[in-house]
Amino acid sequence: MDKILIRKLQVDAIIGIHDYEKQQKQPVWLDMDLSFDCLPAAQSDDIRDALDYFKVCERVSHFVASTRYELIEALAEAVTEVVLNEFACEQIELTLYKPNAVANTETVGIQINRWKQ
């Protein structure tokens, strides 16, 4: 299976368990590997046959920015559900980073894999 790769999509979100995190948005970064058969798009050179990564980024950005979660696990799961339910990909590997979570680290994060039911 082919993959569409999206790297370091940055979205400001309300995410965290601490009171100060619930008051102000902070950045999260998302890496997404979207399994999709790219051959029809390659043969037709038509966006209608492709997995439109611009639309995926736009939808995920809007979703993340408009929600509130305490745990990155919950946010990651919700993002995978949006992508699998709304786009023609069969599998998503999502890595979600929270760069401001722990001092003295570049970032912390979670990686999950989910498949279309």
| Cα separation values, 58 from 19, 71, 90, 115, Å | 28, 22, 19, 21
| Structure tokens given for 58 | 């736009």
Sheet holding 108-115, edge to edge: 68-69, 3-15, 26-35, 91-98, 108-115
Measured distance CA(93)–CA(74) in Å, rounded: 15
Active site (annotated) includes residue 116 = no
Of 65, 61, 68, 98, nearest in space to 83 by CA: 61
Catalytic residue among 8, 55, 98, 116: 98
- Residues with catalytic function: 98
